[in-house]
Amino acid sequence: MRSDKMTKGVERASHRSLLYAMGMVKEEIERPLIGIVNSANDFVPGHKHLHQIAAAVKEGVRLAGGTPLEFFTIGVCDGLAMNHQGMHYSLASRELIADSVEIMVNAHPLDGLVFIPNCDKIVPGMLMAAARLNLPAIFVSGGPMLAGRYRGNVVDLNSVFEAVGSVKAGKMSAAELAELEMEACPGCGSCSGMFTANSMNCITEVLGMGLPGNGTVPAVAAARIRLAKKAGMRVLELVRENLTPDKILTAEAFTNALTVDMALGCSTNTVLHLPAIAHEAGIKLNLDYINEISERTPQLCKLAPAGDNHIEDLAAAGGIQAVMKRLNEKDFLHIDCLTVSGLTIGEQLAAARILDEDVIRPFDNPYSDSGGIAILRGNLAPDGAVVKQGAVAPEMMKKTGPARVFDSEEDAVAAIFSGKINKGDIIVIRYEGPKGGPGMREMLTPTSAVAGMGLDKDVALITDGRFSGATRGASIGHVSPEAMERGPIAAVHEGDLISIDIHARKLELLISEEELQKRLNELELPQPKITKGYLARYARLVTSANTGAVFKEGQT
């Protein structure tokens, strides 16, 4: 066992002495040592209850004859970090999470790992670590939050963000907003729609790194505790079988993940995270391949923010395994892929059932003939841009309008809330990419403001930053190259016409090539917004969004 380096032989007497100092007994030291990688903290509702999940995992490990050793990672709450300096750190935390897990596991030789994530950057950061370390590993998330109820309506966190815009537009009172904010998030768990956290937890299940139910069993359900115990028990079998992530995270597994992503209508942030995880696994995912999968995969589910259903409804309809069973009816999946259950995808699907065809639609009645996400290209985004097309109103799929240009999220939000944005405008927010942000801030405030003010069917938004999984409307992000890398988005002038054609996958700035090059040649880049600390270092190392915003090779 790998832990023998720390526990066996005369030379390790001092090591054993330190373990005894923690109250361990000889029998514990001689068993397989299992790292419990917990992201619990008191900031994030999705993580508030993870101590309970970890306790169940530990029970499972002990039941199966192992010794659990818990350690912790950081975890940023995107909702709390929104629209202030904190959001610069969210995406950037992903790399720190992966690095910190690597440090702990390689400094203290362990035999297997159970990862307990739940929210936006924590899930991909831990998956990146699992791929990098390649030790037997299994994931069990904290599970999704239940949706809230407000005056007879089903609501969630995004309802509150959009309500702020409604208050600013005079469509809702401050008292009503205060009532809503008390009801939208009724308890622990990752926010209840198909936002980034739930998208990534569902995709973890599809990749084969989590047991069935990982993505959809509610946080407050007893079944979530049972799932945690099973994960703790199962990791010992993974160690004995030497079933490592490289045997699970194959190219075919990533194709499965992208296929289910498109069928579900997941967050655009998956287009950042899946390439980054694949990169750690030695697999290259490019945007054209993502578009290819999107174009051939129908969208079968429409969950909040694109639709009225929430993750609890998907769970009741049969969960991710039911979605995969449906996709397998038309041979959309590689069913020979291995999973941490020890079964192949195909073997797992034998037990799956589709319980609600209003939530998981049949192939003859999809929400769309193509997937929930589309990659756009053109002279404004030669290296690609991303839109959650499944959440775009039909009248906004093709649009031409004047650019309203802002060099920061704050300036754009101020203009939206002060009524300076008109129907037909195309808001451009730049210098918010991985390097320019730095940290590629999430733009839920401006997009929800536009929606809350009733402009989401009239106004588009384009940025080299990114969007929350809770975003809906014609919100086009990840524009690459970003402005701080002298991408064409830096050359847009106020009033320039921009053409969006999501069906044709086109994003064009309607000026001549000569004028575009002239503007870029004359461009003076702004000074970096942050010049010291981790974010300054991050800005020097990070690549563009089209690569997954991973660090430059050889410079980490």
Please list, in sequence order, all residues whose beta carbon lies within 8 angstroms of the beta carbon of residue 551, skipping any fewer than 6 positions away: 95, 541, 542, 543
Helix-helix angle 409-417:157-168, to 10 degrees: 60
CA nearest neighbour of 262 among 319, 215, 316, 194? 194
d(CA 101, CA 387): 32
d(CA 371, CA 388): 9
Q: What is the pLDDT of residue 554?
A: 64
Alpha-carbon distances, residue 459 vs 146, 160, 395, 469, 470 (angstroms): 31, 20, 11, 19, 17
- Which residue has 């194959």 as its token pair? 250
CB distance 400 to 289 below 8 Å: no
CB distance 421 to 413 below 8 Å: no
d(CA 413, CA 447): 9
Compute the radius of gyration of the chain from its Cα atoms. Answer: 23
d(CA 162, CA 447): 8
Q: Please say whether the dihedral angle defined by the alpha carbons of residues 216, 209, 248 and 200, taken in this order, is positive or negative.
A: positive
Structure tokens at 408: 């920061």
Environment class of 365 (CB within 10 Å of its CB; exposed 0-12, middle 13-18, buried 19+): exposed
Q: What is the pLDDT of residue 545?
A: 96
Question: Quick check: helix, strand or coil at residue 30?
Answer: helix
Per DSSP, the residues of 84-103 read SGGGGGHHHHHHHHHHHHHH
- Taking only the tens place, the pLDDT of each residue in 199-208 is 999 999 999 9
Helical residues (DSSP H) of 310-443, grouped into ranges: 311-316, 319-328, 345-349, 409-417
Structure tokens at 79: 């909702």
- Taking only the tens place, the pLDDT of each residue in 304-336 is 999 999 999 999 999 999 999 999 999 999 999
φ, ψ for residue 241, nearest 5 deg: -85, -10
Give the strands of the sheet with 112-116, arranged side by side: 67-72, 33-38, 112-116, 137-139
Environment class of 331 (CB within 10 Å of its CB; exposed 0-12, middle 13-18, buried 19+): exposed
Number of CB atoms found within 10 A of residue 78's CB: 27
H or E stretch including 278?
helix 270-280
Four-point Cα dihedral 262, 231, 253, 246, nearest 10? 150
Q: What is the pLDDT of residue 471?
A: 83
pTM passes above 0.85: yes
Structure tokens at 174: 């401050």
DSSP state of 303: B
φ, ψ for residue 508, nearest 5 deg: -125, 140
The single-letter code of the amino acid at 453 is M
Four-point Cα dihedral 540, 249, 284, 546, nearest 10? -50
Number of CB atoms found within 10 A of residue 179's CB: 14
Environment class of 174 (CB within 10 Å of its CB; exposed 0-12, middle 13-18, buried 19+): exposed
In SS3 terms, 385-398 reads as EEECHHHCCHHHCE
Active site residues: 468
d(CA 81, CA 402): 31
Environment class of 44 (CB within 10 Å of its CB; exposed 0-12, middle 13-18, buried 19+): buried
Using 70 as the pLDDT threshold, list the residues of the chain that sit under it.
554-556
CA 194, distance to chain mean position in Å, is 10
d(CA 191, CA 45): 8
